[in-house]
Chain A
Amino acid sequence: MYVLMLRTVLIYFVIIFAMRLMGKKQLGELQPSELVSTILISNLASICIESPEIPIAGSVVPVLLIVSLEILLSAACARSRRLATMLSGNACIVVRRGEIDQNMLRRLRFSADDLLEALRAKDIFELDDVELAIVETNGSLSVCKRPGADTIKLDDLNLDKPLDRLPRLPVMVQGEPDIEILNCLGRSKEQLEQLLREENCPAQEVLLLFCNAAGEYKLVRRQQKQSQ
């Protein structure tokens, strides 16, 4: 039993390592090859846990092989559009100015119900509101609304976005500063420390600190654990 638990823990950390190595792409909407590798990895991991007589290398080696091939393949696809098209296919236009391309729908084996469902998921209930609808290579639908049906933007009203309407971003989380976001906002670590001194709040007591480019901030301090 201890050996089974140890094998499970080992495989668990190997899979976490594998998913971390493959990156955010794997966790988001998946391309066909990414979906295949995710399914395979999950099946391979379970082999070793279910069958103690199979050596642990029987799961670890195939998992690592798939991970490295997936990374190399995606790097190759990033360089070669032709290879990417071969592996993942092309995005396809299914609706143009409210008109459905029925040949394309048939080619994609998309039913009218599938199309309507995908449009409703984008909060579109009128086909005439669609300027362009594209089925992406991962199967999702991207929609560009016709100008008259689109939501009004500040640009349409010729209004400049005031500085204080810019979002406040988390520059410190659980006492750890996020240097990248600080740089994005044009702030320095010293300015952050100065702010905390003014608030009489050491870094360890900070749960969250939000700040925007205009210098507006919101500090959320850690709460002491309340005994019940």
Chain B
Amino acid sequence: MNRVRAAIVILAFLIAFSVFGHISIKTTTKNLLHGLQQLEQSVLVKDYTAASRQVTALMEQCQRDEELLTIFVKRDLYNTLWISLVGLQAYLSDQYFNDMLMELARTKASVDALHQQYFSLA
């Protein structure tokens, strides 16, 4: 009977851990996507000062969530996302407008991949 109780406790812990992971990943990816959307708006109106601030904020957010994210997803994915965010800084000018949009799309794809890895069954 003690083992059965232990099994129930472990199962309850795993469910709680999964729910925590679900909420954490969903919140993080939602915030990142929202931030990237705002960044895209700034780039489209060519407000590179605001865009630079937004990139910095996104990087800080990503760094803050690093420990939490790497509990639930592969470190490779996190690193890919981080490198994409860092790379955005280099394209904040009129000269690299198209490249910036491409990099933004790539970063959004990285966030989606992170989301997929955690939530996808297939």
Size of the chain B interface, CB-CB below 8 angstroms = 18
Would you call A102 an interface residue if the criterion is a C-beta within 8 Å of the partner chain's C-beta atoms? no
Contact A68 B10 (CB under 8 A): yes
A55 in the interface (beta carbon within 8 A): yes
**Tally of A interface residues using CB under 8 Å:** 16
Q: Which residues between 17 and 72 of chain A lie within 8 Å of chain B, taking CB atoms? A: 21-23, 53-55, 57, 61, 64-65, 67-69, 71-72
A72 to B11, CA, bound (A): 10
B27 at the interface (CB under 8 A from A): no
Would you give the shortest CB distance from A15 to chain B, in whole angstroms? 14
A191 CB → nearest B CB, Å: 31
B112 → A minimal CB distance (Å): 19
Does A75 make an interface contact (CB < 8 A)? yes
Cβ-defined partner of A55 (8 Å) among B3, B14, B75? B75
A54 CB, min distance to chain B CBs, angstroms: 6
Given contacts A67-B7, A71-B4, A71-B6, contact A53 B14 (CB under 8 A): no
Closest to A75 in B: B4
A178 to B17, CA, bound (A): 40
B109 interface residue (CB < 8 Å to A): no
**Looking at the complex, which of B34-42, B65-73, B94-102 is the stretch in contact with chain A?**
B65-73
Q: Is the CB of B72 within 8 A of A64?
A: no
For residue A64, which residues in chain B have a CB less than 8 angstroms away from its CB? Answer: 10, 13-14
Cβ proximity bits B59-90 to A, threshold 8 Å, 1 near / 0 not: 00000000000111111100000000000000
Give chain B residues whose Cβ lies under 8 Å from the Cβ of A55.
70-75
Residue of B nearest to A61 (CB): B14
The answer, yes or no, to whether B57 is at the interface (CB within 8 Å) is no
Chain A residues whose CB sits within 8 angstroms of the CB of B7 once the complex forms: 21, 67-69, 71-72, 75
Residues A57 and B76 in contact, CB atoms below 8 Å apart: no
Report which B residues bind A (CB closer than 8 A): 3-4, 6-8, 10-11, 13-14, 17-18, 70-76
Known: A64-B13, A68-B14. 13 other contacts (CB 8 A): A21-B6, A21-B7, A22-B3, A53-B75, A55-B71, A55-B72, A55-B75, A57-B17, A57-B71, A61-B18, A72-B8, A75-B3, A75-B7
- 21 A-B pairs, CB-CB below 8 angstroms? A21-B6, A23-B3, A55-B70, A57-B17, A57-B72, A61-B18, A64-B10, A64-B13, A64-B14, A65-B11, A67-B7, A67-B10, A68-B7, A68-B8, A68-B11, A69-B11, A71-B3, A71-B4, A71-B7, A72-B11, A75-B4
